[in-house]
Each structure stands twice: as C-alpha cells, then as structure tokens.
Amino acid sequence: MAVAAAPDHLFHLRNNFYLGSFQAAINNSDLPNLSPDDAVERDCLVYRSYIALGSYQLVINEIDSAAATPLQAVKLLALYLSNPHDKESTIASLKEWLADPAIGSNALLRLIAGIVFMHEEDYIEALKLTNAGGTMELHALNVQIFIKMHRSDYAERQLRVMQQIDEDHTLTQLANAWLNLAVGGSKIQEAYLIFQDFSEKYPMTGLILNGKAVCCIHMGNFDEAETLLLEALNKDAKDPETLANLVVCGLHLGKSSSRYLSQLKLTHPEHILVKRASSAEDSFERAVQSVA
C-alpha cells in the first residue's frame, strides 16, 4: 500500500476495456510518452478491444511474428476465436508456448490461455495456468472460472486477494459484482450498487447497463431490467447478452420475446442461451419418448 504518486497513463484505456466500451478504448489509445512496457500493454488492450468487437482478422493481420510475446498471445486468441473449426492447432501452439520456460510464465499469455481453456470448458487446465495470479486480470479471470465451476467459496478467496491488492480497482469491483450475483441473496443489492457506482463514475456502457439489468432480474424487478436493457440495446443493437437478457425479461413479463430470440439466433448462434434452448428442445423430445 505504498503511496502511489505517478499518474497512471493507461488508466482510462484499461477502464474502458474492462467496462466494455471497446470503441472508446481504441479511439483514445493514442497516448503520448508511454514507456515501452506501457506501449506493449496499450497495444494489447487495443487489439483485445478489436477482438471483443469481433474484428479478429484485423488483429491477425496486424500482429506480425516479430511482435512481443503478449501481442503474440493476443493474436492466438484472435486465431482461436476466429476459427471455431480449427481450434486444435491453436491450442497446440498455445501449449507449446506455455511449455517454453522463457515465455511460458508471461502473465498475458497465461491469461489468454486461461480464456481459451475456459472456452474449451477445461477449467482445471485453465486454473493450472491462472491460479498463480500475478495481475489483476488473472485474478479476475480466476474469480470467473470459480464462478463457472460453482465454487463461490474459492471465488471469494480470490476476490479477497484482489481486495488486498487494490480494493477500488475496477476489476476488483467488477469481480465483486460477479461474485455477488453468483451467490445471490442480499448480495444482489451490493452488486447493483457497484454497477450503480460505475454508472455514476464512467460513461454508461452496455456492460454496465447489462450488469444493472441482471441485478434487477435477480431482484425480480423485470420492468426496470427491461428499461435498462432497451437502453443497452440502443447502444449496441447486436449485443448478445443484451438480447439474451431481453429474452429472459420478456418471458417473465409475459411479453413476446421471440424477435430478440431469433435475432440472437441469427447473429450469435453460438450463444449459451441459444445452445441451452436447442439442447432443451432435444431433451424435451427425449423425455417425451421416455415417458411415453
């Protein structure tokens, strides 16, 4: 808890990235007087923003083989996400790099690997790489993995580590909100307050609006959730989470949500809601067979 004095040049960039205003992160990335390390981090954040916006090919094309390890890692992520049919080769090269003692412990590489393994639903493998921590992002990812594994007790421990490092860090707050939502009960309200704080401090983003909306859904306040989600939809009409949550909201409000659903099916056929719906349909048919 040393007295920090130097201004943090990348603060806004990081914040924008974490809070989901990717375009703003990209637009405001032209920062003067960055140290080489900061510049690499800046580039990583910018490329990761492009990835988040779905511009995989741009990232793949722009990062050449001479770029620094973190950037290479980002490129791998873009490769992985852009080509769902050839994941194996990406994972193979990822594993190869991780095995290399020179670069294997690079935080961003581990982070990307963690994300990739999460997509593969190989949480154990992901945790092997990320559990050691080292950056706030890795800790936050750990929290998310534990939430995915329904181990909120572990997630809470990770969060406490984060809080000890910097309680007011955007990622700490976000991770806190995720965990609060995952454990439910009275914590939902705290999660809501966290998103509320964000909305007061920073420009509204789809992520913040969605976060608030999810809190409202969990509090049974579907009308407010719908209002928030429609606002989020105004910001990004194709945001899969907004659409998915709108579907859920619509169902609870007894309104027709089929348009949002078909929109989601069209733009994000891989979304978890779509997958759940189709697998539910299958299991319904199966169950009909078994009961009959």
Partner 1 sequence: MLTKFETKSNRVKGLSFHTKRPWILASLHSGVIQLWDYRMGTLIDRFDEHDGPVRGVHFHMSQPLFVSGGDDYKIKVWNYKLHRCLFTLLGHLDYIRTVQFHHEHPWIVSASDDQTIRIWNWQSRTCISVLTGHNHYVMCASFHPKEDLVVSASLDQTVRVWDVSSLKKKGASPADDILRLSQMNTDLFGGVDAVVKYVLEGHDRGVNWAAFHPTLPLIVSGADDRQVKLWRMNDTKAWEVDTLRGHMNNVSCVMFHAKQDIIVSNSEDKSIRVWDATKRTGLQTFRREHDRFWILAAHPEINLLAAGHDSGMIVFKLERERPAFAVSGDSLFYAKDRFLRYYDFSTQKETQIVPIRRAGSTTLNQCPRTLSYSPTENAVLICSDVDGGTYELYQIPKDSIGRSDLQEAKRGPGSSAIFVARNRFAVLDKSNNQVLIKNLKNEVVRKSGLPVPTDAIFYAGTGNLLCRSDDRVVVFDLQQRLVLGDLQAPFVKYVVWSSDMESVALLSKHSIIITSKKLVHQCTFHETIRVKSGAWDENGVFIYTTPNHIKYCLPNGDSGIIRTLDVPIYLTKVSGNKIFCLDRDGKNKTLVIDATEYIFKLSLLRKRYDHVMSMIRNSQLCGEAVIAYLQQKGFPEVALHFVKDEKTRFNLAIESGNIQIAVASAKEIDDKDHWYRLGVEALRQGNAGIVEYAYQRTKNFERLSFLYLINGNLEKLSKMLKIAEVKNDVMGQFHNALYLGDIQERVKILENAGHLPLAYVTASVHGLHDVAERLAAELGDDVPSFPEGKEPSLMPPAPIICGGDWPLLRVMKGIFEGGFDSTGRGAVDEEEEGADGDWGEDLDMVDSDGLQNGDVTAILEDGEVAEDNEEGGWDLEDLELPPEVETPRVNARSSVFVAPTPGMPVSQIWTQRSSLAADHAAAGNFDTAKRLLSRQLGIRNFTPLKSMFLDLHTGSHSYLRAFSSAPVVSLAVERGWSESASPNVRGPPALVFNFSQLDEKLKAGYKATTDGKFTEALRLFLNILHTIPLIVVESRREVDEVKELIIIAKEYVLGLQMELKRRELKDNPVRQQELAAYFTHCNLQMPHLRLALRNAMTICFKAKNLATAANFARRLLETNPNENHSKAARQVLQASERNMTDASQLNYDFRNPFVTCGATYVPIYRGQKDVSCPYCTTRFVPTQEGQLCTICDLAVIGADASGLLCSPSQIR
- Binding to partner 1 (CB under 8 A) within 118-177 occurs at 118-119, 123-124, 127-128, 131-133, 137, 140-141, 144, 146-154, 157-158, 161, 166-168, 174
Under 8 Å CB-to-CB from 203, ≥6 apart: which residues? 21, 24
Rounded to the nearest whole angstrom, what is the least distance from the CB of residue 27 to partner 1 in the complex? 17
Rounded to the nearest whole angstrom, what is the least distance from the CB of residue 218 to partner 1 in the complex? 6
According to the binding rule CB under 8 A, does residue 283 interact with partner 1? yes
Residue count, binding to partner 1 (CB under 8 A): 99
Alpha helices in 31-106 (DSSP H): 36-52, 56-62, 69-82, 87-99
Judged by beta carbon, residue 97 or residue 146, the one nearer partner 1 is 146
Judged by beta carbon, residue 39 or residue 132, the one nearer partner 1 is 132
Q: Which of 6, 20, 67 lies closest to 48, judged by CA?
A: 20
How many whole angstroms separate alpha carbon 87 and alpha carbon 143? 25
Rounded to the nearest whole angstrom, what is the least distance from the CB of residue 102 to partner 1 in the complex? 19
How many whole angstroms separate alpha carbon 181 and alpha carbon 125? 25
Judged by beta carbon, residue 11 or residue 95, the one nearer partner 1 is 11
According to the binding rule CB under 8 A, does residue 99 interact with partner 1? no
* Binding residue (CB under 8 A) for partner 1 from 41, 211, 226, 236: 211
* Binding residue (CB under 8 A) for partner 1 from 38, 40, 227, 252: 252
How many whole angstroms separate alpha carbon 209 and alpha carbon 21? 12
Residues 58-87 that bind partner 1 (CB under 8 A): 77, 81
According to the binding rule CB under 8 A, does residue 208 interact with partner 1? no
Residues 22-51 that bind partner 1 (CB under 8 A): 22, 48-49, 51
How many whole angstroms separate alpha carbon 65 and alpha carbon 288? 54
Q: Which of 139, 136, 67, 78 lies closest to 103, judged by CA?
A: 67
How many whole angstroms separate alpha carbon 275 and alpha carbon 148? 16
* Binding residue (CB under 8 A) for partner 1 from 57, 189, 234, 262: 189
Under 8 Å CB-to-CB from 65, ≥6 apart: which residues? 72
Report which DSSP code applies to 32. S
Judged by beta carbon, residue 151 or residue 235, the one nearer partner 1 is 151
Task: Please tell me whether residue 48 adopts helix, strand or coil conformation.
Answer: helix
How many whole angstroms separate alpha carbon 90 and alpha carbon 80? 6
Report which DSSP code applies to 6. S
Q: Which stretch binds partner 1 (CB under 8 A): 27-35, 60-68, 92-100, 244-252?
A: 244-252
Judged by beta carbon, residue 61 or residue 256, the one nearer partner 1 is 256
Judged by beta carbon, residue 184 or residue 269, the one nearer partner 1 is 184
According to the binding rule CB under 8 A, does residue 217 interact with partner 1? yes
